[in-house]
Amino acid sequence: MTYRIRRRHFLGGLCGLGAAGLASWLLRAEARAEGAGSPKRFLVIHHPVGTVRANWTCKADGAGFALSRILMPFAPVQSHMLVFDGMDIVAPGVGGGHEQGTVTMMTGVRTRELYPGNGGDDPKAAGPSVDQLFLAKSPLLQGAAIASLQVSCDDRVDVGELSTRRLSYSGPAAPMAPYLVPHLTYERVFGTLVAGSADASSEALTRARMLKKSVLDFSLGDLAKLRALAPKSEHERLDAHEAAIRALEIELDKGGAATNGGGCTPPERPPTLTPFVDSKKNQIGNGNYSTVDAPTSDQELHEQIGNLHFAVIRAAFLCDLTRVATFQWSPGTNHVSFKGMYPNQADSIKMHHPVSHEFNNTNTPEFLTKVDTWYSDRTSKLLQSLLNTDDIAGGKLLDNTLVPYVTEVARADHSWNDAPFCLFGGSALGVKSNRLLKYSPRRPLNDLWLACAKALQIPDLTTLGEKDMYTGPLNLG
């Protein structure tokens, strides 16, 4: 029996003792040392309520293109960016604008059936979401300790509908609940390093973090064994894995988002981190959008939660503990309240989605533009953290990750034509970026999903949805 086989048996034993994350990571690191290269990943980022098209549309500018007002915050990652102008979410099936749009956008399949109640416009998914479809079909995305990760930064909706609060579906009418609390996201990713059952691991990890201990303190014995068995060529990678977890823990304790080397200056953390969750008290109900003003602004905590979630995703990618994730800033019926965004009212606090339905208010487009630009700015900073991070076996994290930036409606009037979509990263997957791609006639969103499938080496996925929902993969190269 060879040394490698003996070591694999030992690492398999460690998996049973709770060191699954480290063991599987080291095995994949060995494969990369044999020439497999850095892992490839797929990350969907969703922002709510569409856009203001006049302030989103870009103009061509030589070899590159001129970013619009709303997309200007993406300037630091423009060289890794594709903007698609002239694309549609092809519907309708059944359900409301934001509700049907969210499900159809993520599954590529028309909705056919509603959940009972929930305002009467809450559709069920008729198939798996694209992240789960790609995961099932692409070997590039398979093999990580955690198959996929779903997070959301806000859970509030108008009438309790499910469809706007879920991006991922494992199959028809099978929604996958996202993590709302960043430290629970962290436990999901790194709690497997603590010996014992999953429940015991979570409880022990929570106690340890309250005492400012590291999850690695639970695994020092296992780490020592791994070092003894691993070749010297892998010690540096194992050290980097430990350092990434340590840095992430430090930044989570501070309340910020980790960057390469952990050398960030995090924003000030609120006194308590209470996630935004759905409840009767924050539901507007029955299509009544008169509740525009809010007593307090949410945007600082909203950003904080997003940074913390993304820090975990980034570290999970860097450690190759997952390769597929969905990140939702908020449901399409967004209840996040923003201060200082409303024209000529610096101190006013307005809720995003209710203002979007004030169609006859001349201040509405400017408010929506500022909010959409806010999301562009915060998302750009998250993408910059991927661009500035060296990947496991070459390149940057963003080079090896496809990141569609999507929204569930084109505009606040619930239309789906000329929807604003972007794609970031993927240079190691054959994506040629720094381009504005305009389509006339317009193309369906499913053509982008088919292009992503092609980049992820899924040759048998050439159709998605009904015949009017796709024409063929976009050319990303």
The answer to whether residue 477 sits within a structural domain is no
Confidence of residue 272 (pLDDT cuts 50, 70, 90): very low
**Average pLDDT score over the chain:** 82
pLDDT for res 36: 62
Helix (H) or strand (E) holding 64: strand 64-66
The pLDDT value given to residue 8: 39
Residue 167, both tokens:
């991006």
Domain closes at, from 237, 266, 295: 266
**Phi and psi of 263, rounded to 5°?**
-95, 40
The 3-state DSSP class for residue 170 equals strand
**What's the pLDDT band for 312 if we cut at 50, 70, 90?**
confident
Enter the DSSP assignment of 266.
Answer: P
pLDDT of residue 220: 53
Asked, for residue 475, whether it belongs to a domain, the answer is no
Helices (H), 319-413: 352-356, 364-387
CATH number at residue 413: 3.40.720
| Maximum pairwise Cα distance, the chain | 76
Judge if 454 and 316 occupy the same domain: yes
Question: Which pLDDT value is given to residue 276?
Answer: 74
Domain range spanning residue 17? 1-36+183-266
Query: Based on the domain organization, do 30 and 54 belong to the same domain?
Result: no
The confidence band for 247, taking pLDDT boundaries of 50, 70 and 90, is: low
Provide the percentage of residues in the chain whose pLDDT is more than 70.
72
110 and 218 inside one domain: no
Q: How far apart are CA 46 and CA 220, in angstroms?
A: 38
Quick check: 48 pLDDT over 70? yes
What digits encode the pLDDT tens for the residues 8-35?
333 333 333 334 455 455 545 555 555 5
What per-residue confidence (pLDDT) applies to 297? 92
Number of domains in the chain: 2
- Regarding whether 395 and 300 lie in a shared domain, the answer is yes
DSSP 8-state class, residue 439:
E
Question: Coil, strand, or helix at residue 155?
Answer: coil
Residues 152 and 172 in one domain: yes
Domain shared by 11 and 98, yes or no: no
Q: Quick one: what percent of the chain has pLDDT higher than 90?
A: 59
Q: What is the pLDDT of residue 62?
A: 59
Residue 240 lies in a domain: yes
Higher pLDDT pick, 213 / 138: 138
Q: Is 401:43 a contact under the CB 8 Å cutoff?
A: yes
Q: Report H helices in 108-181.
A: 130-137
Q: What pLDDT shows up at residue 38?
A: 87
Domain presence at residue 239? yes
**Is there a single domain that holds both residue 89 and residue 205?**
no
User: What's the pLDDT band for 263 if we cut at 50, 70, 90?
Assistant: very low
Which run of H or of E encompasses 222? helix 220-229
In-domain check, residue 152: yes
Give SS3 for 469: helix
Residues comprising the chain, all counted:
477
Q: Between 9 and 187, name the one with better pLDDT.
A: 187
Phi first, then psi: give them for residue 446, nearest 5 degrees: -60, -25
pLDDT at 269 over 50: no
Q: What angle do CA 178, 182, 188 make, to 5 degrees?
A: 65
Q: How far apart are CA 257 and CA 268, in angstroms?
A: 11
Residues 354 and 396 in one domain: yes
Q: State the average pLDDT over residues 356-382.
A: 96
Hey, what amino acid is at 90? V
Q: Is residue 425 part of a domain?
A: yes
- The answer to whether residue 193 scores a pLDDT higher than 50 is no
90 and 162 belong to one structural domain: yes
Tokens of 333: 């019926």
| pLDDT in the model for residue 393 | 78
Least confident window among 151-155, 161-165, 319-323, 444-448: 319-323
The residues pairing with 85 across neighbouring beta strands, listed in sequence order, are 438
**Based on the domain organization, do 375 and 302 belong to the same domain?**
yes
Q: Domain ends where: 266, 295, 319?
A: 266
- Number of C-beta neighbours around residue 173 at 10 A: 14
User: Residue 433: which residues within 8 A CB-CB, separation 6 or more?
Assistant: 79, 80, 81, 82, 424, 425, 426, 427
In angstroms, the first-to-last Cα distance of the chain is 46
- Whether 291 and 174 share a structural domain: yes
Residue 359 pLDDT exceeds 60: yes
What is the per-residue pLDDT for 258?
41
Residue 476 lies in a domain: no
- Shared-domain flag, residues 26 and 45: no
| SS3 (DSSP) at 331 | coil
From 213, 235, 266, give the residue that closes a domain. Answer: 266
pLDDT exceeds 50 at position 262: no
pLDDT 10s digits, 144-161: 889 999 999 999 988 889
291 touches 251 (CB < 8 A) = no
Mean pLDDT lowest for which of 2-11, 65-74, 303-312, 398-407?
2-11
- For residue 190, pLDDT over 90 is answered with no
Helix (H/G/I), strand (E/B), else coil: 412: coil
Q: Tell me, yes or no, whether 361 lies in a domain.
A: yes
Query: Which DSSP category does 397 fall into?
Result: G
pLDDT at 443 over 70: yes
